[in-house]
Structure 1
Amino acid sequence: MDKLKNSSEKIKMGKKEPKKKFSIWKIIKTYFENSSLHGIKYLVEDELHWSEKIFWMVACGLSWWLCTSLIMGIISDFITRKVAITMDTDYLKWEVNFPALHFCFSFSSRARDYATEITGINPRKTSILSRLSHWAKMGYDGSLPKPITSNEFVQLGKYIKPNCDDIFGVCIWNDQVIDCCKLFFPLSTNLGRCLSFNSLHSKLPEDPHLPKFTMDHHKKSARFIIYPNKTDYWHASHPYFNLMLTNQLELPTEKGGRDIILTVQWGNPTPTIWDITQVPTYNEPGVLSLSKEDRRCRFPAETDNLFLLKTYNYHACMLETQIKKFNESCGCVGHLFPYSDKFKTCNSTELKCGFENRDAIVQVENDNCLPDCEEIIVIQDRNTLDEDNIPAWAVTKLEFNMLPGPFKRYERYTVFSLLDVVVSVGSALGLFVGASVLSIVEIPYWLFIRRDED
């Protein structure tokens, strides 16, 4: 008996319990029966008549279709969302940088001397030599007795380039005397060769001992005084020089960026003061996530497909477009444009091509050159000063007084933000199907964790 009992127990132990049959439909049915989504439990309820199931199938399908259509529209609006600009006056914590100053020159006494050497023209005929810097003819002069080579034009540009000591004597910031050569740095444009202060296209002051050139509404003023030097740098036929006041992003060019030209008379100058205010543009973080085409502007760091720019600016972008057009038309680029080793500089004969195609070069268009997203509007009011205490070594006194502010700014924002998407999608899901974040958690819970318990 014991042997039979033991053998029967071994047989029972040897038998394996049958595995539960895996059924995808059963898992889905279990999920439908327990899901918090509205209506879907009626699709699998055994007690319901088939007509009721069809009713709920149509109702759920219509609800899901409406929900999906609404969500797709929301996502489409987000991808192609619009940008709007408004005025903001909440100025308590705002700060703005001092604008950029550009002293630009198209000719000089050193350039005159070099030009007479390479052309053989009488030095007294300075008006003829100055034609080499005339924008109206792209620097072309068909009456030259001797042709000028490409290398000679490059060298001529170097002689036009001013040194800091040629121009500046003393600079004063809020009663603190500062070495002008620590503030002004070279910059080339098609207006000539410039010395620029606080421009992102040349170089910003780097000396850690220098003050911050900024302004807010707490400060009384930010005053910058310049005493230019009397030197022989100047050419007799140019009694005026171009002094341009722009924001930090703007590059002064012949096409634009020169809305504020503070022309100063060199021969008999008058001490002058400019009161300055600025209206900056602020961009909400969501604007940067948009494509350039949607926001219709470009940020300073977006310098793709540009060869001269380190910081994007609309007028500088158009300058590069003109350079490319000049090269396409003539196989070279005129000496009035900033030098680039990517292109050959035209000789005096090749400049005739630039003169003949001037309109096509100057009026060229480029859809990729969009406005600046961070544009700052500079407003100035000019007044003369009745001062006789100008040093004998100085030409005149130039004073720039930035008034407290800014008290207003433009604000660019997206009409449909990411938060708007979350709220709208959540509302659509809740309204049409009764879904929430926890409804997503239910899917793996019922499909994988609870599927073997029944």
Structure 2
Amino acid sequence: MRLQRILYEYLKNSTLHGARFIVDEDASRIEKFFWLICVLVSWFASWLLISASLEAFENNAISFVAETSYKDWETNFPAVVVCELKNMDRIQEIAEDLWGYEHDFTLEEVLSEIAFFRGESYHTVHECGENEMAENCFTSNFSYYAKLVRSSCEKTISSCKWNGSPFDCCKYFVKLETELGICYAINSLQTSSPDKMSMYSNRVTGPGSLIMDVLTEANIYVLGEEEVPNLVTPKTEILTVGPYVSYLRFISKKDIQNDEQTRSTSVQQRNCRFNDENILNVHKYYSYSACIVQCRKDKQFRLCNCTSHLMPNTPEWLYCNMTGLQCLNEYYEDLSVVIAKWSYGRKGLVCDCLPSCSEVDISTVLDSKENIYGHQNPISKVQISLMELPTERYKRIVVRGKLDLVVSMGGTTGLFVGASLLSFVEIFYYFTVRAYNTFVTERTK
């Protein structure tokens, strides 16, 4: 009876529209029923609109627009990463140092597979596996042999120029650990060097151009500043170079800018991560490609209880020995291909990786090459240039922020039930403070 009396008192004095008519003593039952239906319909309509606003806030808070006010833009040049591809002269030199001139030449293939490991190691498993082990085989400490073979920066890159001005290659091409081994990167966030060269292009400087000599066979990756080379990097982002050839690649670049309010939205709302919202341990900044590397590392542990000896930022005691390498070789198809979640029955990695919020669109406009056999040294000359300054970029803007949600919910409740914030405080007041005060007063009397 006390609860009924509290409810009656609340409805009689409530500021919610229509509530007092439900308990009006002068109204007939038909009138009370009519107002009860009206109030319930109004609350239901209000709930429907509020639910739609919440769903739009969660799933459609972000929108993309194209900007063309390009005259004042500062365009950052992409990160350029040079990864040695294969150096048989270096492998032969190391093999002779390790096993002498009269060594088993099959071991050179083993050394090559270890140094330039790509997830599969046919010769290593067959020559140095547990069943048949050739003389002088090594069955652990693979990372040591990989580092022994890979060339230093000075023996990989030389004669660098940015917009025609020479610079010290190995001061700005900094060592970068990747799952492909040691590479050398310029203008990348993932390197730890404090020396960063300004590589911005604008109306004054014109389109940026990077020129260098590459002294070995190599893959050159042209990526966003937070991206890293990996086993599944698209071929369109890779330039494979060899000796006595001059390469020219013109690229175009479209940036993604983020509205200031984008930071205030959740990762699920914007469906991307900023590079400092890192949840990975293989690289210090988040990116989609770094997330793929993390995904592969985690699955290697699940399948083989160890990880590749080239996996970045990993303690050496977690690297695979020969048994682990055989396991990685066995599950090569499961570890080397990234597949979608709905690709049931296929072998491969299923990675729940979001794109980076600052991801860029880099495309190749023109590729050309010509022979330079008359050159004295077996080098390749490489030029990577912006075709032109960008005239368009994308911008991620917030169309439904927290304030918009509050305004929408407040307008909906005000329209349908005449409620304000204090109207909801009334509900708490009548059923707690007022009820307790009434109870204490009656008990005292």
Q: TM-score, normalised by structure 1?
A: 0.73
Q: How much does 1:385 deviate?
A: 7.6
Q: How much does 1:359 deviate?
A: 1.3
Aligned residue among 411, 414, 433 for 1:427: 411
What are the within-5 Å matches in structure 2 for residues 41-440 of structure 1?
42=21, 51-81=30-60, 85-108=64-87, 109-118=89-98, 122=102, 125=105, 129-132=111-114, 133=116, 135=118, 137-138=120-121, 140-141=123-124, 142-143=126-127, 144-151=134-141, 153-203=142-192, 206=195, 210=197, 212-216=198-202, 219-228=205-214, 234=216, 240-256=217-233, 258-266=235-243, 268-270=244-246, 272-284=247-259, 288-289=263-264, 291-293=266-268, 295-304=270-279, 306-338=280-312, 340-341=314-315, 343-348=317-322, 350-363=324-337, 364-380=348-364, 381-384=366-369, 395-413=379-397, 416-435=400-419
Q: How much does 1:103 deviate?
A: 1.2
1:95-141 superposed Cα distances (whole Å, 9 cap, x missing partner): 33211111111554555433344456747945564344353733642
Q: How much does 1:296 deviate?
A: 3.9
2:439 — aligned with what? Answer: none
Contact 1:161 1:194 in 2 (8 A): no
Q: How much does 1:172 deviate?
A: 2.2
- Give SS of 2:383's match: strand
- Give SS of 1:355's match: helix
Q: How much does 1:148 deviate?
A: 0.7
Cα distance in 2 for partners of 1:335, 1:354 equals 11
- Which is worse superposed, 104-113 or 356-365? 104-113
Cα distance in 2 for partners of 1:421, 1:262 equals 48
Contact 2:259 2:397 in 1 (8 A): yes
Change (3 A) 1:29 1:281: closer
1:239-286 superposed Cα distances (whole Å, 9 cap, x missing partner): x322221121221112225532222222x122x332222112234456
Cα distance in 1 for partners of 2:92, 2:397 equals 52
Change (3 A) 1:228 1:265: closer
Q: Which amino acid aligns with 2:330?
A: E
Q: TM-score, normalised by structure 2?
A: 0.75
- Which is worse superposed, 130-139 or 419-428? 130-139
Q: Which amino acid aligns with 2:274?
A: F
Change (3 A) 1:338 1:53: closer
- Which is worse superposed, 191-200 or 395-404? 395-404
Cα distance in 2 for partners of 1:117, 1:388 equals 31
1:57-107 superposed Cα distances (whole Å, 9 cap, x missing partner): 443343233323432342244234465545443434433321111111155
RMSD over aligned CA atoms reads: 4.1
Change (3 A) 1:404 1:107: closer
1:20 — aligned with what? Answer: none
Cα distance in 1 for partners of 2:303, 2:100 equals 30
Cα distance in 2 for partners of 1:26, 1:331 equals 67
Change (3 A) 1:203 1:79: same
Q: Which amino acid aligns with 1:95?
A: E
Cα distance in 2 for partners of 1:318, 1:29 equals 59
Change (3 A) 1:131 1:121: farther
- Give SS of 1:66's match: helix
Contact 1:170 1:227 in 2 (8 A): yes
Cα distance in 1 for partners of 2:304, 2:361 equals 37
Contact 2:109 2:123 in 1 (8 A): no
Cα distance in 1 for partners of 2:418, 2:300 equals 64
Cα distance in 2 for partners of 1:172, 1:361 equals 38
Change (3 A) 1:444 1:124: closer
Contact 2:163 2:210 in 1 (8 A): yes
- Which is worse superposed, 37-46 or 272-281? 37-46
1:307-334 superposed Cα distances (whole Å, 9 cap, x missing partner): 2121122222222332333333334333
Q: How much does 1:340 deviate?
A: 1.6
Q: Which amino acid aligns with 1:67?
A: S
Matched positions, count: 407
Contact 1:119 1:148 in 2 (8 A): no
Q: How much does 1:170 deviate?
A: 2.9
Contact 2:189 2:225 in 1 (8 A): yes
Q: Which amino acid aligns with 1:130?
A: S
Provide structure 1 residue ranges, at least 5 long, that are not aligned to the other structure.
Answer: 1-22, 235-239, 449-454
Change (3 A) 1:299 1:25: closer
Contact 2:22 2:32 in 1 (8 A): yes
Q: Which amino acid aligns with 1:103?
A: V
Higher helix residue share: 2
1:371-411 superposed Cα distances (whole Å, 9 cap, x missing partner): 33322111232245899998x78945432322443222234
Change (3 A) 1:296 1:165: same
Change (3 A) 1:206 1:66: same
Cα distance in 2 for partners of 1:289, 1:139 equals 50
